[in-house]
Structure 1
Amino acid sequence: MTASTYVNDDRQNHLFQVNREVFTSQEILEKEKQEIFSKAWIYVGHESEIPNKGDFQTRDVAGRPVIFNRDRHGEVRVMLNSCLHRGASLCRHSSGNAKIFTCFYHGWAYRNSGELVNVPGNEDYKAEPAKVYEGLKGPAKVESYRGLYFVNFDEDAESLEDYLGEAKYFIDLVADQSPEGIAILEGTHKYSIKANWKLLVENSVDGYHAKSVHHTYFEMMMDLGATPPMLGEEIVNGVAPSGMGTEFPNGHATLMYPANGLPLATESVKETLAGMRRTAEERFGESYATAMFGLSRNSVFFPSFIVIDLSFGLTLRTMYPISPSETIVTGWQIIPKGVDEEFIKYRVDNALTFWGPAGLATPDDVEALEQAQKAFSTQAEIGWSDISKGMGKQMPAANDELQMRAWWREWNKRMTGEALPSEGKSFVPFQKQTTDA
């Protein structure tokens, strides 16, 4: 495949297509690892997961094992989880608290700030290892925004804040939901799907599939007397009931739609959410609070960081390819600090029953994506996937495909160097009037 045949962006005929070979080619996957995952900002974790000195989480980030920790000085670090001696994983626990990381293979030991402090049989080395090896290696850059930590393995990468750009607004809408901040709930959803990673990126900001793939959930909402998303009547902060899609530079994009209903919520849960909204109105003004609590949002931050913020739950999701046809997915739930146990339980229940690997939504999505991957064996006869819905509209709806096109244009730029112009559909509902964040 030549570089020019990845994406067909035909503005004159309002046609956008992606060559299906990008979902099946090992050669393309290897180039993605080099040009995307080694050069874009990749999410690692949130500061609430390592609140104390010595706390750590081990993660796989952009195909590399890392230790995400708070060192003995209280600084947040990201270090490659590989002993400098012979390469074994240095820390084999998923989380914990440690002052020293000791490699189980030959016993080399490192402080939680990275320095090599002990080598068994050190006297047998002509050159002292602690002087030869300065300490554990890390990514070229580690930066944070609103408590979310990202890494970049490219020394020449722009700053995280510049990279996020105007799309930071949709992180702010999460981080501002409580004056005390936000926290990741303990527990992780980690599972694999037999489909290309880019299919799940598309699906995460795809409003078009909701009514057909998730019809069971829509039926449940209606049985409970709630109005399903994109079926309401109220315009919220300029966003119609059908919702809208919006794009930003660097491949970030969002779909948003009026937040309808709190399925199975108790009166206490509803009052907690109403109280959060009143507090936000006092801090930031009514319009920003309405954007925060009156709109649901699915956002993608290129390449693979997803923030899904609905009235009944808030999830972070990342994905990384194992092969062209298999992807590892990791998800966490966020909670605004200061809420009571009943509200937390409500959010946890929804995390399990909606987003969980055995919930209402995820198995539907996995089945759809795996069926698509399976059918890509027909690419010799059906070579292109269509992502044209809403192209040419003055205001694309949430169930149009602007979000995916914005993401694909950035993917194409990084893979080929060809910069395709945006559709000029950037939009944020309302800014804060004041802030004490």
Structure 2
Amino acid sequence: MIGWGFMWKSEDMQGFFPVRSECQADVPRTRFKSRVGKTLSRRRWHAAFTKDGHLDMERVLRRIQRGGIHPSIKGEVWEFLLGGYDPDSTFDERTKLRNHRREQYYAWKEECQKMVPLVGSGKFVTMAIVAEDGQTLEESSVENQEWLVKTAVTDKRVLQWLLVLSQIGLDVIRTDRYLCFYESESNQARLWDVLAIYTWLNPDIGYVQGMNDICSPMIILLEDEADAFWCFERAMRRLRENFRTTATSMGVQTQLGMLSQVIKTVDPRLHQHLEDLDGGEYLFAIRMLMVLFRREFSFLDALYLWEVTRPHGRHFCCGQHLHLLFLSFELMMIIRMWFQMMWAMEYNPNNFSSYEKPENGTKQDPRLLKQYGKFERKYIQSGQNEQHHNTLAVFVVASVLETKNKRLLKEAKGLDDVVQILGGIAGNLDARKACKEALKIHEKFLRKV
């Protein structure tokens, strides 16, 4: 784990997540600045708990939405923001729940270890350990793997899992590799273990490139691997539909459709222009809407408002439009900075109970409105109670399009021009202002519809 022992100085915030010396020139300096009296500090965080451990979530959300979270407590706060713990629980209740979850995780880990001994060994694979037909591989066909499947695999679920382990390994070695934290193979192996176990438990989704980018911050911020797993699992409950793909569709299509409707409603002229450019499907916004991929950027900035990532091209069937997915990496640094604030704005105090006891459902208590995030409150007050996780991301992307409205209308003669214009905002976009603009667009949209 990275130590938190030094003073909190805004000019040295990047020091919380040290960058390897050989990567310094290629990694942007962090843009995040602490805001005295606004950023949620360790002292303010601890002061938000009662003696027994009940958390004043209203107080916490207000501060996060104004100034973000101090790096030293991000992991602790995320566990609550993602619905991992009930703010109304006590310290003792959370300790019992945490211990139970750790026991459950390590039981699952032991189950996986029986199938693949490398799980939990501090090592991981980057090359195939079994043939696609389930047959064993010759030792000579795999380099430096230390372990191979010894007998043919006939169980389809097991085979599906074994086949993806090497892909997870390849993604692990590319994940945040500029950070000193991942110079350690054991830390990389922890990331591989969590992803492998999650994939085993969720065969309907499996593993899709980009999950590694969501999981990485949890591994870095939370010391116990089990705690990191459960934080990742809660994050994936919000994001998993973005990864659900078929031969003819992709999970993010719903959000693309909503983005199209939002722009058509709030800025019909821009929407028509994009339609004329054959961009009415808004495929150029996929990477922004995935809110998952956060490679090769300032890590702390990515965590400030969240790390967005993109899916690997092979998971999409978009034909000639595939090249539009690969937007400027610097642009994606700015976009992915929004998600942490989204967690705060979309926070619902019922998340914990709905996750723990989904069969019982939850009711929205109007007396608890102040415990909801700002964006979530607006939905409840407008009478819209349907699931809309990550809807704020749509309005954030809409705000990005609106900041470039004039240039898009005047200069964009094709979709490549759209991509280039959007890429030009890298380093020039104020994330806080963009989020405020997103809320304004949201209000405008609700009024018009």
Q: TM-score, normalised by structure 1?
A: 0.26
Q: TM-score, normalised by structure 2?
A: 0.26
Bigger strand fraction:
1
